[in-house]
Structure 1
């Protein structure tokens, strides 16, 4: 129960953790102090063939950190779950945009992420 121990939730890792965001957030409670906000595609869709590799079935893992709306994350569940556990009301929490692979449009993506994250927080606060 050290105050120095906390949890980070990375939204775009959701499908690798069973896609149960709210359950994980509830279990972490006030230990959840940092969230990374980035979208990703659900690799379980299309019978596990969401990503095309050649040949099909290669043992690869695609790691995506896309901007909000470019993947399959349920953002209402994500931001609503954070509200449910009081994440927005505590002084010891941090939310960061965690998009990469958008170097060519990094400024625009960062502006979009900030605007969209702020809209969701306002909606659920």
Structure 2
């Protein structure tokens, strides 16, 4: 198992090198390389060259940190064909960068348009036809999660789409902060893993409240019909995710993939937040 840290809380206020050093000081051997404007940013072409890649490898070596996975987010499922083509181009370059970094895993989201799901699904398959041969050629594994506001939001549908590719190099990301979207408000962790049937290879750890709770009044949104998507990335124990069952399931299945601290809520109290989340993970999974 690889225990990693997502440094999203550092992306706007810290250089890349300082970010790597900070992750090492927090007690991690692995870093999930999430979007940064000076490297790979949301929906855009990567702003990085060969020299920067060499520097990143050196900074990681010096800090004793390895990159567990590279995380881009692209609109590769967009019903807009021009937008989809741009996303595929951006993803091709990201695969190259991942290979040049010496990293064997890229994890991402389905994206697309939740209000035009059928067209988005067709566009996603079209992108997969173009990109899977490149992932295979570069020996890069692809992990995908259904994210709130994607063209699919449930864990069940994510598993079905990934399974339909019938590819050994494609697997599923499961994020605890999205648990109440994954089954429309139930948050039944055990059932979600049962439905995935071994496809899950990456766990993102963060807590959230059930947006469907309290008769739909957990959050007050005005006007009530406003088309918004809301959740949090809190420390375990601050929300309503069933972490006891999650850790039990991971131990029962002898999970051996990536587990990432995915808490974003406390950039002003990073050490405190990390201590709480890291303790939850280590105690829950009985890690030394």
Q: Same fold (TM over 0.5)?
A: yes
Q: CA deviation at 1:94?
A: 0.7
Alignment size in residue pairs: 119
Q: In the aligned structure 2, how far is the partner of 1:62 from the partner of 1:28?
A: 24
Contact 2:206-2:263 at 8 Å conserved across structures: yes
State the alpha-carbon separation in 2 of the partners of residues 6 and 55 from structure 1.
38
Give the secondary-structure state (helix, strand or coil) at the position aligned to 2:201: strand
The question of whether the paired residues in 2 share the 8 Å contact of 1:9 and 1:34 is answered with: yes
Residues 1:46 and 1:57: Cα distance change in structure 2 (over 3 Å): farther
Q: 1:85 aligns with which of 227, 241, 253?
A: 253
Do residues 117 (structure 1) and 281 (structure 2) align? yes
Alignment of 1:33-112 (within 5 A): 33-87=201-255, 90=256, 93-112=257-276
C-alpha displacement of 1:63: 2.4
How far 1:25 moved relative to its partner?
Answer: 1.1
C-alpha displacement of 1:116: 1.4
Tell me how far 1:54 sits from its aligned partner: 3.3
1:10 alignment partner, one of 149, 153, 175: 175
1:63-120, Cα deviation, whole Å (9 max, x unpaired): 2111101100011111112122221xx3xx0101101131101121112211111011
User: In 1, are the aligned partners of 2:234 and 2:264 still within 8 Å (CA)?
Assistant: yes
Cα distance change of structure 1 residues 77 and 24 upon mapping to structure 2, 3 Å threshold: same
Q: Is the 8 A contact 2:176 2:207 kept in 1?
A: yes
Larger Rg: 2
Cα RMSD between the aligned structures?
Answer: 1.8
Cα offset for 1:60?
Answer: 2.1
Q: Which has the higher contact order (CA 8 A, sep 6+)?
A: 1
> Residue 23 of structure 1 aligns with which residue?
191
Are the aligned partners of 2:209 and 2:231 in contact in 1 as well (CA < 8 Å)? Answer: no
Q: What secondary structure does 1:30 align onto?
A: coil
Gap regions ≥5 residues in structure 1: none
The worse-fitting range, judged by mean Cα deviation, of 19-28 and 38-47 is 19-28
Equivalent residue, structure 1, for 2:30:
none
